[in-house]
Every structure is written in structure tokens, then in C-alpha cells.
Structure 1
């Protein structure tokens, strides 16, 4: 029984010692964190924001729940225009802070960082959270009005762009439809023109055939009868020539016979003897 009591006492002593050591370590880390925080503040005052952010990060390395270090680190990031990096530090402060005033300031700075990042919806939400913790902050209220105006403008612009895209898509769809109809009508017109051409061609051919088919033989005979023919008794030039030659020959024969008769009846001229 005594042995058990001694064992229990020794265990309590060891546990107490470890707890004391842990408390001492925690206190030492907190002191280091405060030291680094002061160094960071001095650098921040000199506008050496990059070096200040390194000091604040070391402070948080010694005490991760150090609200002041995380808040000041957010400010150092903000001053270096690292707005996206600043927001998580302010959010950590807003989460771990125990008083509403500190929470309100953290949310206010979150709103400012969101405005710089052009995240107007995020800014509106942050400013509203800040006013919930500190309703009397006129600067936050003013910033909220500006953020809301920018958000409305952005939403309207997005709406206009969306409507414009829809209109452009509809116009393109109508244009494609018109082009398609034009091509279709053109093909149809070309086909109709070709069919009409073929029809006219067939019609012309058929017309000629029909013309020949419908040709009246009697009319052709009548036309043939109406053609000028040589009159009865009218001789051709060749016949006239032959006739003239024949007459000429006959005349020559006649003249020859007459000359022969004259020669027989004419006295021979004789010399007179008285």
C-alpha cells in the first residue's frame, strides 16, 4: 500500500514538472513572439514592409494564435499590394479576436483588400460583417455604399454582356439560317432554270416536229402549182437560137436556089457585031 502511494506521488511530481516546463516554454515562446512583433512594428514604421512581414511571420511561428501579429502581417501584405495574401491574415484575426472592435477592424480591412482585388461581392459581405460588430463606424458604412454601387455596376455590365452575347448568337443563327435559305433558293432557282431550258429546248424540237407534222400537203402542192412555169409556145433561148440557125440555113438554101434560077434565065453578054 505504501509502495503504491510512493508511486502515485512520484507520478504527480513528474507530471507537475512537465507542466511547469511546458508553461515555461510557452511563456518563452510568447516573449519571443512579442519581441518579433515589436521588431516588425519598427520596420513597418520605416515602411520596410517586406522585412516587417518577415518579422511578423516569425512572431506567428512562436505563437500561432497571436492576433496582433497576424493583423499586422495582413497590414504589411496590404501595403505591399499583396491583397490576396493579406485577406487570410485578417480572417484569422477576425476568427480569433475576442472583442468586437478588433473583429470589426479585421472585417473592415478584409473589405478594403477585396475592393483592391475588385471582388466587390466579397467587399460588401466584409463591410456588412464589420458593421455588425461596430454599427457606429461611418467609414465602413461609406465604404459599403461604394462597394455596393460597384457591385451593381458590375452586375449590370455582366447582364448587358450576357444579353449582347445572346443577341450576337441569335443574329449569327439568323444569318446562318438566311445563308442556308439563300443557298437552298439558289439551288432551286438553278434547277428551275435548267428544267425550263430543257423544256424550252424540247418545246422547240417538238414545235419543229409538230410543224412538219402539221404541214398540209395540199398547201405544198398548191405552192408548187403557184411556181412560175414556162408558158405554152414560149421557147427557151436555146430553142430560139436553134430556130434562128435553122431559119438562117433555110434562107441560105432558098437564096442559093433563087440564084441558080436567075443564072439560068440571064443572057450571056455577048459582044455586039454591029
Structure 2
């Protein structure tokens, strides 16, 4: 219980400290506001002094001093339209158009009279034109004419801004169309290139497939041709040999062919020779027996 009681006291003390801090901040803010309200004349005098210093610096072309004086005036009185408007014009003349547009926009927010709004928006439109922000320039010139419709210079600038905006949109459309056409051409070229590669790939395979039978056919034709040439050569040699044999046969006397059922001379001669051989054998046997005569005994009979 004692520990919980201590925690509660610590929480209460913290809460009290936070409230005290908030009260201190609010008190300081209120004191500053009261001081400003109590001394408006002093604040106005100081702001006017800064504005005069800025104008003197501008007369001497001292840009840095003029910018510093305008900033001091704005810091002293943020609701001073003249300080923001003049600083915006200073940036515009020094070709710092983004900074000029920023300060003129701030001046437009706190401006009160129509004349102020007209002058601020006219110069704001000029700042946007230099940045080629034609849509923003058109809106600024329109706001200027709403506060002073009789200003012909603002009306001319508005017409010029509209023309530039229209040309910009046309150029954007043309660029978009050109980009689309270019993309289509690139896609078409890529597709054609891909198709050509596919065709080349298929053609190479077919060519390889066709080349193999073609080579085989050529080899076969060549072999057949060589074989045919060899056969022609052999046939020619046979014809040559046949011619020689034919000549030899023509030189030999032709033998008579025996008629059907008759013996040829060769057969007759063979029979005669056989008969002669038999007769010779018989004669030889007879002659041998005659040569022996009567047998003579070489030993005595017993």
C-alpha cells in the first residue's frame, strides 16, 4: 500500500509538472501577443524602418542587404503584405522565379484590398510564365482580372498564357503519339526479327536434313556411275577379248558337225585306233608264244 501510494504521488507530480510546462508556454505566447498589441506603433515603426533600408539597398543594387531587410520586416510582422510582395518582386527581378512565386503566394494569402490582390496575382502570373507553368499562370491572371477586370495588360498576359498552354498540350499529345508509334515500330521490328530468327532456325534444320540425303544420293550416284563405268570397261575388255578369240576361231578350220544318228569322224577314228590296239596286242601275244618254242628240260628224268 505504501508503494502504490508513492506511485500515485509521483504520477500526480508528473502531471502537475506537465501542466505547469504547458501553462508556461501559453503564458509566454500570451505575453508576446499582449506586448505586440500594447506596442503596435513600435512594431510598425520597426517594420517601416526595415522596408526603407531595403529600398535604399535596392537603389544601390545591394541585393543581399535588401533581402535581409525584407526578411527582418517579415519576421517582425508576418502579416505585412508589402514586405512579402516587395521581396517577391525582388526575387523576380533577380531571376529567382520559384522564390518569387513563393513570396507572392504568401502575400496573396494575407492581402486585403482588391488592388493588392490584382497586383500580386498579376506578378504571380508572370513568375509562373517564366517557369513555363502555364496552367498556374492562367489561374493567377484570372484571379488578377477578377479584382480588376479593366487591366488590359493582365488580359493580354492571360491570352498569351492560354495560347502557350494549348501549344504545350498539343506538343505533349504529339510526343505521346510519336512515342506510341515508336513503341509500335520497335515492337514490330522485334517481332519481325524474332520471326526471321525462327525462320532461319527452321531453314537451317531443313537444310541440314536435306543436305544429308542429298550427299548420300550424290555418293550413291557417284558409286553407281563408277560401277557403270567399270562395267562398261569390263564389257569393253570382254568384247576386245571376244574379238580376238573370234578371230582365232575364224582362223581355225571349222569342223564338220555330224548329222543326227551318225558318228563323227573323230569318233570313227577313235574306234579304229582302239581296234588297232587290240589287234596289236593279239599279234604281240602270238609272236611271244612263237618265240618260246618247245620247252627244254635241264634236268634228268628219274
TM-score in terms of structure 1 length = 0.68
Which is bigger in relative contact order (C-alpha 8 A, separation at least 6)?
A: 1
Pairing of 1:1-274 with structure 2 (within 5 A): 21-204=35-218, 227-230=242-245, 231=247, 232=249, 234=251
Offset at residue 30 of structure 1 (A): 2.2
Q: Residue 50 of structure 1 contacts residue 80 of structure 1 at CA under 8 Å; is this kept in 2?
A: no
Residues 23 and 157 (structure 1), Cα distance of their counterparts in 2 relative to 1, 3 Å cut: same
Counting matched residue pairs gives: 214
Q: Deviations over 1:65-101 (max 9, x none)?
A: 1011111111111111111111121111111111111
Residues 221 and 47 (structure 1), Cα distance of their counterparts in 2 relative to 1, 3 Å cut: closer
Q: Distance in 1 between matches of 2:139 and 2:118?
A: 12
Give RMSD over aligned pairs. Answer: 3.0
Provide structure 2 residue ranges, at least 5 long, that are not aligned to the other structure: 1-30, 253-302
Offset at residue 205 of structure 1 (A): 5.1
Q: Residue 49 of structure 1 contacts residue 77 of structure 1 at CA under 8 Å; is this kept in 2?
A: no
Offset at residue 223 of structure 1 (A): 9.7
Q: Residue 49 of structure 1 contacts residue 79 of structure 1 at CA under 8 Å; is this kept in 2?
A: no
Offset at residue 207 of structure 1 (A): 5.6
Give 3-state SS (helix, strand or coil) of 1:64's partner: coil
Offset at residue 155 of structure 1 (A): 1.5
Q: Distance in 2 between matches of 1:118 and 1:221?
A: 102
TM-score in terms of structure 2 length = 0.62
Q: Residue 129 of structure 2 contacts residue 137 of structure 2 at CA under 8 Å; is this kept in 1?
A: yes
Q: Distance in 2 between matches of 1:153 and 1:50?
A: 38
